[in-house]
Structure 1
């Protein structure tokens, strides 16, 4: 099979999978989820004319005789008539007849009278000037952020329709891989497992089920075929070595290979397959940085598709510090973002994570890129 271009592979991973089902969650539990439907305001905001400053609600020209006080939460703010004023707190309902709220710092107080120059601003927020019933507050596919939660609360939302978190099984292969302690002779610590778990949770999926598997075809087939997850991620078995059994397992299971290798560096031996039952399998290279590139190329876009997440516009920066042209394949380069530019982090390699750990994300240098052109930036 011909290697897919990096951009083709990434687009395919995003569009192949349709969105998963819908959960309804309390507003307080919505942060980090992805909206499954538009959410509209159910009320006026403000719900009444309200003071935007601490001071005096006045009518007519000054000086004004102070006739009372209104605090936030008042249910009967009363009336002001020309020549009178009511002391008022920020957020309190404005009395009928008030033309402006004069801030404390602008007034002179003399006994029961206050005076000030003619107000330059009304300092009154009118009912419904922020939100009205039916106003769309957020559209389907949007990530629920803390500020958005606050807006939705203002608009009277109590519960949210959100996409179910995709279920993920992470199959870590390799006779030599250990997940705790110091590796012994011939062993290595599993670096991809924690990385994939964190990236998967960050993307909005459930915490993956972790299944360590030795280099055994039957054990790998059982781990991939077991029912439950929407996505099975397999690390370290996507190439063509003697211990790499994923291709054979997928053939045994009747899977459809959609991506079998990507024209990128590092990370070309990555794959995306569809299982007959509708599940998805992603194969990642075993080298840690190459596996991270596979996550950015296939796993994160696939999860975005399953979550129905709206596609964000590409972020581009000039590349400062120089890099050789990528040649005929896409090159993914760890970079820091400094003063509006992407700056390469030294000592990057397929098996090394130090550069990626010190970086903000990767710069995407596609075939044909020239040093004077901006690069797309993918944040970790």
Structure 2
């Protein structure tokens, strides 16, 4: 079996990011830049008022000759001894020496007076950003704030990696859709995991996944994998070597190349990563929900993040305290609660249950030599 660290590293580095393309800025939120982005327009775009008050020229007192609000494009100029009432962000009149805030002024009729200003309260064109200035480097996620900054600087489109597309295939005759009405029948279980996959996909920068249920039949599974569009197929269940576990044989029949076929960890060891001849990726996730969660954090999330062009997140470790049985042949992964810079093992974790994980903040990756108080790598939960 592949070690946990090697499996995680393969998923984080083996795929190439999706080919970059020009994307309209309005559709680029959440994508990752493929090249440096530079400003098109200056910020501010023109000389403007930094305060509500009066734009004045020359020494006072000043005769108020009009009003200028933000958005007004009408040109005007000030002669010495005159002023216009002005709003924050409004285009500055030609000849203006300063903007006097309301609170510093006294107005009587059409005359305003104020002591000499300590500041001019003028925003000069380009004082924050000039055309051609670098705004974002390549490899940076386009957050809402980043998109706003680009829009402010006149950027209309960016070269970015498109979001990878994911199809989730939930296998098992016993699995019922989580929203299905009514009580479960004998031997049935609800799909408790596809929502977790969707959350991990969103965090990794992937598009909302398609979702299908596939019965325990090798032909049906092969057809579903063949029909799945996009970049990645995540298969929950069918990953071990039982009578209903057909994924390994189906992928071999489809000519897949295995990069990871089992991981030396508990839980989640029957997980895998394979590349199909047409360039799509298949991630095999155990059907037990907690084991599947471990596998999704080990292989699926880093694979999607890599395809989205996202840089690898910095490793985060913390001292892990509590009781957990080390796995002598590999890695033990446990849910932990975080407090005061340390992690505490949440007891009661089992491969088939999510109760302990629901009470945790992260999963801790513990090597075979771990003892209480030793460091563990932390995987944030979605």
TM-score range, shorter chain: 0.7 to 0.9
- Asked if 1:269 corresponds to 2:286, the answer is no
Q: 1:199 aligns to what SS in structure 2?
A: helix
Equivalences for residues 162-201 of structure 1 within 5 A? 162-179=160-177, 180-181=180-181, 182-201=183-202
Calculate the TM-score normalised by the size of structure 2: 0.86
**Gaps in structure 1 of 5+ consecutive residues:** none
Indicate if the aligned counterparts of 2:169 and 2:236 stay in contact, CA closer than 8 A: yes
**Partner-residue secondary structure (3-state), 1:303:** helix
Residue of structure 2 equivalent to 1:371: 373
Q: Give the Cα–Cα distance (whole angstroms) in 2 for the partners of residues 38 and 318 of structure 1.
A: 38
Q: Which deviates the most, 301-310 or 64-73? A: 64-73
Corresponding residue number in structure 1 for 2:292: 291
Distance in 2, matches of 1:188 and 1:45, equals 57
Of residues 5, 11, 14, the one that matches 1:13 is 11
- Mapped partners of 1:21, 1:307: distance in 2: 9
Return the alpha-carbon distance in structure 2 between the equivalents of residues 254 and 314 of structure 1.
34
Local SS of the residue matching 2:305: helix
Shift in alpha-carbon separation, 1:20–1:76, aligned structure 2, 3 A: same
Helix, strand or coil: the match of 1:305?
Answer: helix
In structure 2, the CA distance between the partners of 1:235 and 1:41, relative to structure 1 (3 Å rule), is same
State the distance in 2 between where 1:245 and 1:175 align: 13
Look up the match of 1:85: 83
Unaligned residue ranges in structure 2 (runs of 5+): none
1:3 alignment counterpart:
2
SS class of match (2:43) = coil
Q: Give the CA deviation at 1:210.
A: 3.0
Cα distance in 2 between the residues matched to 1:312 and 1:266: 23
Q: Secondary structure in 2 aligned to 1:9?
A: helix
Q: Which moved more, 1:263-272 or 1:112-121?
A: 112-121
User: 1:106 Cα deviation (Å)?
Assistant: 1.8
* Aligned residue pairs, count: 377
| Aligned equivalents of 2:376, 2:78: Cα separation in 1 | 61
Contact 1:323 1:371 in 2 (8 A): no
In structure 2, do the counterparts of structure 1 residues 372 and 116 end up closer, same or farther at CA, with 3 Å as the change threshold? farther
The match for 1:117 is 115
| The 10-residue stretch of structure 1 (272-281 or 292-301) with the greater mean CA deviation from structure 2 | 272-281
Q: Are 2:317 and 2:375, in contact at CA under 8 Å, matched by a contact in 1? A: no
Name 1:56's counterpart in structure 2: 54
SS in 2 for 1:149: helix
Quote the Cα distance in structure 1 between the aligned partners of 2:367 and 2:130. Answer: 47
Q: Distance in 2 between matches of 1:13 and 1:121?
A: 56
Partners in 2 of 1:115 and 1:318 — Cα distance? Answer: 65
Q: Could you give the per-residue CA deviations for residues 331-356 of structure 1, whole angstroms, max 9, x where no partner exists?
A: 43334555666555454322112333
Give SS of 2:120's match: coil
Deviation at 1:224, TM superposition (A): 3.0
Mapping of 1:315-354 within 5 angstroms?
315-316=316-317, 322=322, 324=324, 326=326, 328=328, 329-337=330-338, 342=343, 344-354=345-355
- CA drift at 1:172: 1.8
Q: Is 1:27 matched with 2:29?
A: no
Hey, what's the Cα distance between the residues in 2 that align with 1:25 and 1:338?
41
1:257 correspondence with 2:270: no
Question: 2:115, 2:295 → 1: CA distance?
Answer: 66
RMSD: 2.9
